Amino acid sequence: MACEQDYYTIMCGMQELDFQGNAVPSDLVLIGEHAFPLVMSPRGQVLMAASHYGKGRVVVLGHEGYLTRFPDLIKNAIKWLMSRSGDAGIDLIAFIKAGGGLIMGGQAWNWAATHPKENTIKNFPGNKVCSVAGIYFTENYGKVAICPVPRKIPFSWRAVSIRTNFKDDLHFLLEGVSEFDIQGSTVPSEVMVHGPLAFPIAVTPEGKAFIAGAYYGQGRVILLTHESYMDRDSLSTFMVNAIKWLDQDRKDVIGIEPRLKPARTVLSKSGLDCQVTGFREDLSIYVCTSYSDARCAEIQEFVAEGGGLLIGGHAWHWEKTHFGCNVMTDYPGNHILNKMGLCLLGNMLSTELYKAPEICKEGYHFRSMLHRFAEHVHLGQKLTEHEESCLKQLGNDCASYLQMQCHDSSSYTSVFALLSDIVKLGVPQVSSNCPVESAKDLLILHIATGLYKASPDPDALLPYIIKDRSTLPTVSNARFRISAKTEGETSVADWVNRIRQAPAPWAELEFENIVMTLKSEFVRNLDRPDEVAKLWDTIMRSIADLAAKPGKFPRKERFVADVQISAGFMHSGYPVMMQDISAPELVDVQKAYKDGLWGQIHELGHNQQRGVWEFPPHTTECTCNLWSLYVHEKVLGLNGGNAHPGITLQNRQDRIKSYCDGGKDLKNWCIWTALETYMQLKEKFGWDAFKKVFALYNDMNGVPTDNAGKMNLYAETFSKVVKLNLCPFFKAWGWPIQPNTQKKLSHLPEWSDHPMVQYA
C-alpha cells in the first residue's frame, strides 16, 4: 500500500513519542482512501495524520504545540511534503491541489467549548482546509501518553467507532417530517452507511437504510435509493430540507441533471434557483442519478471543496443484469459514493410507509455497532438487547464491506484488520456435535468467510478458521492437463464399482434440472443412481409444467444438506438448504413413492412463487404447497392425507368451519386455511386451469402492488380462464372483491354452487 511508504518516510527513526504535558490534543477523524494515521493513542484516538489531495500532501497535528515538541518528526514531514511541492497560491486548497505541502497544527476542543451551538466538523477553521484531504479535527479530547511508533501504520480496533453524532443534522433534515411514504411500484435498494461521517436518515424497522447522508471534505451528500423520490409530493418536505442542508446557506444555483427534470417542481419549493443543466463547477448543489460515473472525479472534488450532492438511484436492477460483477466495486454510482462512506447494495427493500426515526434514540450504524461488537469480543462487555438484535444486520454489512476489497485504502484496511483480529481470537468449530447456538458465533462465522474471500493472503487466515486440518501433501509449481467430456453422464457400473467409494467427504449428484450436495456417507450404498435421476427429472419437469414454463430450467435448482442451516428444518432459495438428517430422503426412491417428499417440494415451490399472484403474508406458506400437491398427485401417486396429514378430509372440514365461525377474517386466512381455497378451485377446475392462469401471469405487466388489487386481479384472471364468474366464491372466502371487478365479470355465468355456499 502506497500509504505505508509515506508513513515510513514521515516516522523514520522514531521509536516513541511523548505526548504527556499540558498540550491536550484533539482527536482526529479520517475519511476516504488517502488519509492515514501517524500516531494513535492507547484509546485508539488519532493524534496525528497525513493525507494526499490532488497533487499535494497534508500533515495534521492534533495540537499546535507539537510543531515544536517533535522537531525530528517535523523535519521528516517537511521532507515528505516538499517532494511534491508546487507553486504556492493565495488559496490553501488550490495550493495543495496544485502540489503544495501543508503542515497544520491545532486543537478544536477549546474552540468547540466557546462555540457551543456551532458544528465543529463544518465550522472549525482548520477543518475548512484539512477536510478536503479527509482529515477533521473533532471536539473530543485526545488521551495524552507515551505512544510507541510501530513499523506499520498504527491500528486499533477502538479507532473504528464514529467520533461524532448527527442529531443536529437529523433535526434539520427531519423538521416537519413524520413519515417516508415510498409505497408504489418504484422499488428502492438498500444503502450501506459505512463512513465515519456518514449517517442513515430513513430506515426500515429492521434497520436497513434507504436514505442516507454524509459529510465529505467541506461539502455534503444525500443519497436516495430511487431517483423517483426526488419528484414525489409525499416526500417534498424532506426534499426541501435536504436541499437547504446541502446548500449550507450559500443560496447559489441548484443544477439538476436533465433526466431528472421532473424533480425541479419539488426542489424549487426550497426557494432556491433550480436549473436543468449538466454538471458545472459554479453550482451550489448538483442533482444527479447514480447510473453514471462519467464525471466521478470532478463530482468528488466538487463536494470536497464545499459543494452539495443529491444523488438518487437503485442498484438491484444493475446487479441482476450484470452477472458476475461486484456491485460494491463495479456499480457506477458506488465509484462516486464509496469514498464518501456510502454504498448502494443489490438488495431490494419493501415499498411501504415508514415512520421517521426518533432522533433521541441511537439507531444502527455500521461503525459504531462494529466497535461495540469488538468491545464485546475483546473485553467481554455485554451487548444490550437492541445491540443483540443488530448482529444479523452487522453480519450482512461486514460481508458487503469486505467485497470492496480496497486494500490500498487505509479506511478499508483498518476495518479489515479489526475483523481479522476478531477472527484470530477464535472461530467456532462447527460440527454435528457442536452447532452454532449464539448470534455472536454466527456473526464470527460470517466474518471469517468474508475475510477469507477478500484476503490477499487467505492461507494466513486458514489456521484460525479451521483448527484441526488434515495434513495433506503439498505440491508446488505443478502443471496438470485435464481433459473432460462435459456432456456431464456416469454409467451405473462406473458408479457402483468406482465412483461412490471415492475418498471425498462430500458428493454431488447432478441431474437434468437439479444438483444435490450431501455428505458422501449418504451415497456410499446407493446402487441405482439412474433411478434417482429418473425420479428427480420427472419431479422437476412437473414443477416446470405446473408453472407453465419450459421443462429445461435456465439454472438448475440445488439442494444442500448440512449439519446446521440458517433457518428452520429446511428453507428455500439457491440453494435449498436442509438438515442432513433429511439427506437420505433425496436418494431413497422407494421411500419417496411410499411416504412422499412434501418438505423438499414445498421448498422448491417457494422458489416458484411470484409476487404478482402472491398475497403476503397470507399465502407465503400456502401457494408453495400447490407444487407439493401437484408432484405428489401426478408423480408420486399420493393424494390427500397420504401426501400430508394436514390435508385429510376431516382436517380440511374443521379448518373451514373454524375460519367461517371466526368471521372469515383475512388475518386468519393463511397456510393450510388459505390452501383450502386453492384446493377447492383445483377440485372443480383441475390443474390445467392453474397452468393457464400462471401462463397469463408470466406475460403480464402493470400488476397492482397491494394485496387487495392483486386479489381482485387474480379473481378476474381465474374467472376468465374457466369462463365462470368466481366473485361469489372468493367473496365467500372473505376476499375484498371490488364492485369494478364484479362489473367486469358480470357477463359470465356465476359459480353459484361453489363449496362455500353452505357456510354463507
- pLDDT at residue 741 greater than cutoff 50: yes
Which secondary structure element, helix H or strand E, spans residue 337, and what is its range? Answer: helix 332-337
The three-state DSSP-derived secondary structure of 132-192 is HHCEEEEEEECCCCEEECCCCCCCCHHHHCCCCCCHHHHHHHCCCCCEEECCCCCCCEEEE
- Report which secondary-structure segment, H or E, holds 289: strand 285-289
**How far apart (Å, rounded) are the C-alpha atoms in residues 564 and 545?**
32
Summarised one tens digit per residue, pLDDT across range 148-182 is 999 999 988 888 877 678 999 999 999 999 999 99
Please report which confidence band the pLDDT of residue 487 belongs to, taking 50, 70 and 90 as the band edges: low
The helices-and-strands tally (H runs, E runs) of the chain is 32, 24
Q: How many other C-beta atoms can be found within 10 angstroms of the C-beta atom of residue 371?
A: 19
- Cβ contacts of 567 within 8 Å, gap of 6 or more: none
Q: What is the mean pLDDT of residues 283-306?
A: 96
Amino acid at 437: E
SS (H, E, C) 84-147: CCCCCCCCHHHHHHCCCEEEEECCCHHHHHHCCCCCHHHHCCCHHHHHHHCEEEEEEECCCCEE
The predicted-structure confidence for 667-688, as pLDDT tens digits, reads as follows: 999 999 999 999 999 999 999 9
Taking the C-alpha atoms of residue 279 and residue 299, their distance in angstroms, rounded to an integer, is: 8
| Placement of cell 415508514 in the chain | 354
Local confidence band at 23 (pLDDT 50, 70, 90 cut-offs): very high
Q: What is the pLDDT of residue 486?
A: 65
pLDDT tens, residue by residue, 92-129: 899 999 999 999 999 999 999 999 989 899 899 999 99
* Residue 476 in this model has a pLDDT that exceeds 80: no
pLDDT in tens, 622-670: 999 999 999 999 999 999 889 999 999 999 999 999 999 999 999 999 9
Mean pLDDT of all residues in 597-604? 96
Higher-pLDDT residue of 488, 584: 584
| Residue 84 reports pLDDT greater than 70 | no
Q: For residue 454, what pLDDT is reported?
A: 93
Element (H, E) at 304: helix 296-304
pLDDT confidence of residue 246: 97
Q: Between the CA of residue 4 and those of 35, 152, 264, 416, 461, what are the distances in Å? A: 11, 6, 46, 16, 22
User: How high is the mean pLDDT of the chain?
Assistant: 92
Q: Rounded distance, CA 571 to CA 592, Å? A: 19
pLDDT at 163: 67
Q: What residues contact residue 485 under an 8 Å CB cut-off, 6+ apart? A: none
Which pLDDT score, from 0 to 100, does residue 88 have? 41
pLDDT, average across residues 411-430: 91
Q: What is the pLDDT of residue 197?
A: 94
pLDDT band of residue 436 (cuts 50, 70, 90) is confident
Please give the pLDDT value at position 1: 64
Q: Specify whether the CB–CB gap between 669 and 618 falls below 8 A.
A: yes
Q: Are 47 and 30 contacting, i.e. CB atoms less than 8 angstroms apart?
A: no
- Report whether the peptide linkage leading into residue 37 is cis, meaning its omega lies within 30 degrees of zero: no
- Decide if pLDDT at 568 tops 90: no
The DSSP annotation for 216-269 comes to ETTEEEEEESSGGGGG-GGGHHHHHHHHHHHHTT---PEEE-GGGTTHHHHHGG
In a 10 Å sphere around its CB, with 0-12 CB exposed, 13-18 middle and 19+ buried, how is residue 1 labelled?
middle
Instruction: Indicate whether 310 pLDDT > 60.
Output: yes
β-partners of residue 58 are 51, 102
345, 346, 348, 349 alpha-carbon torsion, rounded to 10°: -10
| Percentage of the chain exceeding pLDDT 90 | 78
Q: Could you read off the pLDDT of 606-619 as tens digits, one per residue?
A: 999 999 999 999 99
pLDDT at 534: 96
Residue 87 has pLDDT above 80, yes or no: no
User: Using 50, 70 and 90 to split pLDDT, how confident is the model at 89?
Assistant: very low
| pLDDT, tens digit, 9 for 90 and up, residues 188-218 | 999 999 999 999 999 999 889 999 999 999 9
Helix axes 366-379, 410-424, angle to 10 degrees: 30
DSSP state for residue 431 in the 8-state scheme: B
Rounded to an integer, what distance in angstroms lies between the CA atom of residue 602 and that of residue 613?
17
pLDDT of residue 295: 93
